[in-house]
Amino acid sequence: MIYRKMLKSKIHRATITEACLDYEGSITLSPELLVAANILPNEAVNIWNVTAGTRFETYAIEGPANSSDVCVNGAAAHLVTPGDIIIIASFIQLADEACYSFKPTVVFVDEKNQIKEVRPEMVSLNSTPF
């Protein structure tokens, strides 16, 4: 059986509120953002810095409820600056045939990291493998 790594969810254009070098690692997100994007604490996530062009992988941890904090911790804090715009992406392994019906979730946030909209990704796979 063939499995593919597919986008599961992303938080689109979040704003970095803090970069904490002295913490051991991770990205701190509110429980509301984690639930909306179906990301679990300790789950691996990719961070794409729209402002600086850097990309890295870390893991999510849960911050305070109803918070607008998006804080990159540890060594990765060197790759962001408060005010940077980022995309946070999580992935899933799917059997090949499941890829054609699976729809990733996109969480759109405002400049204060408050959820504006949650919807399925609009990209569609209209063809089947050879």
Out of 3, 9, 30, 59, pick the active-site residue. Answer: 59
58 annotated among ligand-binding-site residues = yes
Residue 75 annotated as part of some ligand binding site = yes
Q: In the annotation, is 59 catalytic? A: yes
Any binding-site annotation on 76?
yes
Number of residues that make up the chain: 130
End-to-end alpha carbon distance in the chain: 15
34-40-43-49 Cα dihedral, nearest 10 degrees: 0
59 contacts 26 by C-beta, under 8 angstroms: yes
Nearest to 8 by CA among 86, 129, 107, 103: 103
Judge whether 63 is annotated as a binding position. no
Q: Is 101 annotated as catalytic?
A: no
Options 26, 30, 68, 90, the catalytic residue: 26
* Catalytic positions: 26, 59
* Residue numbers belonging to the annotated binding site for substrate: 58, 74-76
* Residue numbers belonging to the annotated binding site: 58, 74-76
